[in-house]
Amino acid sequence: MANAIEVDGVSKIFRLYQEKYTSLKERVIKAGKIPYQEFWALKDININVEEGTSIGLLGHNGSGKSTLLKCIAGIIQPTKGEIRVKGRVSAMLEVGAGFHPELSGRDNIFLSATLLGVPVKEIAARFDDIVEFSELGAFIDNQVKHYSTGMYARLGFAVAVNVDPDVLLVDEVLAVGDENFQRKCIERIRLFQKEGRTIVFVSHSPELVRATCEEAYVLDHGSVVGAGDPGSAIAVLRESLQAGAQVGGARISDPDKVEEPKAEKVPNVELVSIRAVSASEERPDHIFPHDPLKVEVGYHARSPQPGTSVAIQLFSPQKEVIFAANTREMGIEGFDLDSDGVVEINFEDLALLDGIYGVAVTLLDSGGNPISWLEDRAAFQVVNPSRVSGMVALNFSINSYSVPHIAN
């Protein structure tokens, strides 16, 4: 398949001035010797995104993920390298960017859509869809300055998704709006994926990336440090986060120093194996709904680790978290781990229907910091012999009775 986005050897250097000299006088006086530091926001990035795939860009603050997205969107130009994007791009870096407060919602739809490069004819054809999606109804003819934040965000999102993009660039915009609206946005993004559009997601939330993307890239100090399926990319991200926490403030000022402590850091306890199996005596090979399930996690502790708590997550086939528990948060006393052993998590009644479900387990130290985790290594399949369908196995009964017709 052809590539929708080709990022070819892209670097971006920002100049960090101690002070900003924006007046002519200051520039003339300080001509040529304005002190600045060069800051490599992006270092030789090469990413190809196939048409119709969704990728996530992960990384902590200042890792360059938003800069890369802005480069792909064409808002800033890379210092070196080239980016080729095929088709119509719609970037949602900020919902409602380009709205003018004095204009009505109607006028702003046209203004904002032409800003995204959509011909007026096409906007007119989509106008009703946009208004419907935004749920603004009659308010569409009011000035935007009278809108609430939620209305503003809805209109902005409605325009961005209705310009019929081939490539959609999304940066944390889903953080705005109420839950209802967020769900609607995610539904729309899912629809886009089904229609074979390309999506690039920038997010702080690994869960969102896991749930929506097929591939993820982890950025750290402007370089790609991890790539692959979201599960393994998230593992890389967590590792680099942990390394960052160790070094503290040093990492921002001097990126070269980070590498060493990262290698030195060896967790005291490591998870070495994980499996999810049927705990039923009748059917050790199959798991039916309401069967017991056992998750066995093998660990190796180099020295005693008291007060360890366990967090477990179950994922739906769509990679959404369907269950999460953390013994620490539940107030269960921590376990004392030493040498080698197994942590066993038993689900007595697995109320799930057909599908392959993923398991992730994390060990946390007594302070609640993650020490070791395993994910995307274990899965179990639920086979459903009954005639019901869906995801959750609910017990129910059904009966019918007649009610005597009440006269008068």
Partner 1 sequence: MLDWQSAQEDGGEALTQRVSRDRLQVVSSKVSVWTRLLRIWTYRALLLSLVRKELSVKYKNSILGFAWSMLNPALTLIVYYVVFQLVLKNGIPQFAIFLLCGLVIWNFFSTALSGATTSVVANAGIVKKVSFPREVLPLASVGSSLVFFFLQVIVLVIALIIARDLPAFTYLPLIVPALVDLVLLAAAFSVFLSAVNVYFRDTQHLLEIVLMAWFWGTPVVYAYQTIAVPLAHRHIGWIYLLNPVTAVVLTFQRALYAKVSPVLATGSVMKILPGNSPVWYLAQLAIVFVVSCVLLVIALAIFGRMEGNFAEEL
Question: Please, which of residues 96-125 interact with partner 1 by CB under 8 A?
Answer: 97-98, 100, 102-103, 107, 110-111, 114-120
Q: Sketch the per residue contact string, 55 through 94, with partner 1: x for CB under 8 A, - otherwise.
A: ---------------xxxxxxxxxxxxxxxxxxxx-x-xx
Decide whether 27 or 283 has the Cβ nearer to partner 1: 27
Q: Considering the complex, what minimum distance in angstroms separates the CB of residue 87 from partner 1?
A: 5
Angle between helices 179-194 and 149-162 (to 10 degrees): 0
Q: Does 316 bind partner 1 (CB under 8 A)?
A: no
Q: Which 8-state DSSP code applies to residue 143?
A: B
Least separation in angstroms between CB 21 and partner 1: 9
Closer residue to partner 1 (CB): 85 or 237: 85
Q: Quick one: which of 42, 80, 78 has its CA closest to 62?
A: 42
How many residues form the binding site for partner 1 (CB under 8 A)? 46
Question: Which residue is listed with tokens 């179990």?
Answer: 380
Within 146-165, which residues bind partner 1 (CB under 8 A)?
164
Q: Which run of H or E residues covers position 312?
A: strand 305-315
Residue 308: closest CA among 238, 371, 375: 371
Q: What is the DSSP letter of 332?
A: P
Residue 107 burial by Cβ neighbours in a 10 Å radius (0-12, 13-18, 19+) = middle
Among residues 135, 166, 229, 270, the one that binds partner 1 under rule CB under 8 A = 166
Identify the residue among 19, 27, 129, 141 touching partner 1 (CB under 8 A). Answer: 27
CB nearer partner 1, residue 73 or residue 311: 73
- Interhelix angle 149-162/105-115, rounded to 10 degrees, is 40
* Nearest residue (CB) to partner 1, 165 versus 358: 165
Q: Cβ 208 to partner 1, closest distance in Å?
A: 21
CB closer to partner 1, 75 vs 325: 75
Which residue from 47, 39, 37, 97 is spatially nearest to 68, judged by alpha carbons? 47
Residue 341 engages partner 1 in binding (rule: CB under 8 A): no
- CB closer to partner 1, 60 vs 86: 86
Cα distance from N-terminal residue to C-terminal residue, the chain: 71
Question: What distance in Å separates the CA atoms of residue 391 and residue 408, rounded to the nearest whole number?
Answer: 45
Q: Provide the minimum distance between the beta carbon of 89 and partner 1 in the complex, in angstroms, as a whole number.
A: 6
- Rounded distance, CA 117 to CA 111, Å? 10
Residue 336, classed as helix, strand or coil, is strand
Interface residues toward partner 1, by CB under 8 A: 14, 22-25, 27, 70-89, 91, 93-94, 97-98, 100, 102-103, 107, 110-111, 114-120, 164, 166
